[in-house]
Chain A
Amino acid sequence: MQPARDIVSTRELSKELIIQLFNRADELTNGVTPPLLTGKRLGTLFFEPSVFVRLAFESAMIKLGGGVLYSTEFQFSEINSLTTDSHFFDMVKLVSDFSDVLLLRHPFEGSAKLAAEIADCPVINCGDATHSPIQALIDLYSIRTLKKQIEGLQIGLVGNLKEARNVKSFIEAVSNFNAKICLVSRDELRLSGRFLHDFRLRAENDSNFGLEEFYSLKECISKLDVLNLSNLEINLEGEKHKYVIDEAVFTKAKRDLMIIPPMPRKAELPIDIETRLSPSSPTPFGTFFTQAQIGVNLIVAILEYLLYQE
Chain B
Amino acid sequence: MVTKQIIIDNIPRGLAFEVLRVIGIDGTFTEPAKIELNIESETLGLKDKITIHSPLDDRFFARLSLIASTITIEEIDELGNSRKQDSIDLPDRIIRMICCDNDQCITNKMPVTPKFSVEKEGLVPRLRCEYCETIIEQLIFEETED
Contacts and interface: CB of A to CB of B under 8 A. Distances in A.
Interface of A: 9, 11, 83-85, 88-89, 108-111, 113-114, 129-131, 168, 194-195, 197-198
Contacts of B130: 110, 113
B6 interface: no
Contacts of B109: 83, 108
Max chain A CB contacts within 10 Å: which of B104, B110, B112? B110
List of 5 A-B pairs having minimum Cβ-Cβ separation, nearest first: A110-B131, A109-B132, A110-B106, A110-B132, A108-B106
Interface in B79-123: 102, 104-107, 109-112
Contacts of A198: 134-135
| Overall SS of chain B's interface | loop
B71 interface: no
Given A85-B111, A88-B110, A108 B133 contact: no
21 contacts: A9-B133, A11-B133, A83-B109, A84-B110, A85-B110, A89-B110, A108-B106, A109-B104, A109-B106, A110-B106, A111-B106, A114-B106, A114-B110, A129-B104, A130-B104, A130-B132, A194-B102, A194-B134, A195-B134, A198-B134, A198-B135
B129 interface: yes
Contacts of B133: 9, 11, 110, 130-131, 168
Given A9-B133, A113-B130, 4 more contacts: A108-B106, A130-B133, A194-B134, A194-B137
Nearest to A172: B133
A84 B110 CA distance: 7
B15 to A, nearest CB: 16
A83 B110 CA distance: 9
